[in-house]
Amino acid sequence: MSINFQPVKRINPSKPGEPAKFYASPVYKDKITLRKISKEIAERTSLSSTDTMAVLEALTQVLPFFLIDGNIVYLGDFGTFRINLHSTAAEKEEDLNASNVTGFRLNFRAGKEYSGLLKQIEAAKV
């Protein structure tokens, strides 16, 4: 299995005076929607496409509530979602407060089975 890429010329923002270099940029085939995923799941299970779509839609609605509430969402072998934060440093523990928090980032860590997929991928220039 291979992931296609194309060369893209980019300037190093930290060294704008240097000549641009070429980097590999992925070439994606398509965007897969929840509807497409639900149809694929329906073909592999005894559930209808409508039932799987309802479950997937409900999942996309409840995940944010669990995450914003400070939970780690573990989805079995698929992986784990969590919210990480960025902050500025404080000299003393008592000086650290909410104003030091500068932003949040949604983090996904793939489960072992999916992480193993990365070892099977090869790159192909298009």
Residue 75 domain flag: no
Residue 21 lies in a domain: no
pLDDT at 118: 84
Say which DSSP state 97 is in: -
Q: What is the mean pLDDT of the chain?
A: 92
pLDDT at 49: 92
Contact 49, 38 (CB under 8 A): yes
Flag whether 22 is in a domain: no
Whether 124 is covered by a domain: the verdict is: no
What would you measure as the largest C-alpha separation in the chain, in angstroms?
60
Number of structural domains the chain divides into: 1
Query: pLDDT, tens digit, for every residue of 87-118?
Result: 999 999 999 999 999 999 999 999 988 888 88
Query: Does residue 43 lie within any of the structural domains?
Result: yes
Instruction: Assess contact for 81 and 104: CB atoms under 8 A.
Output: no
pLDDT value, residue 13: 85
Identify whether 114 is part of a domain: no
Question: What H or E segment, with its residue span, contains residue 80?
Answer: strand 79-87
Q: Which domain holds residue 55?
A: 31-65
* Alpha-carbon gap, residue 19 to 11, rounded angstroms: 7
What pLDDT score does 47 carry? 93
Residue 92 in any domain: the answer is no
Residue 59 maps to a domain: yes
- Low-confidence stretches of the chain (pLDDT < 50) are none
Count CB-CB contacts under 10 A for residue 37.
13
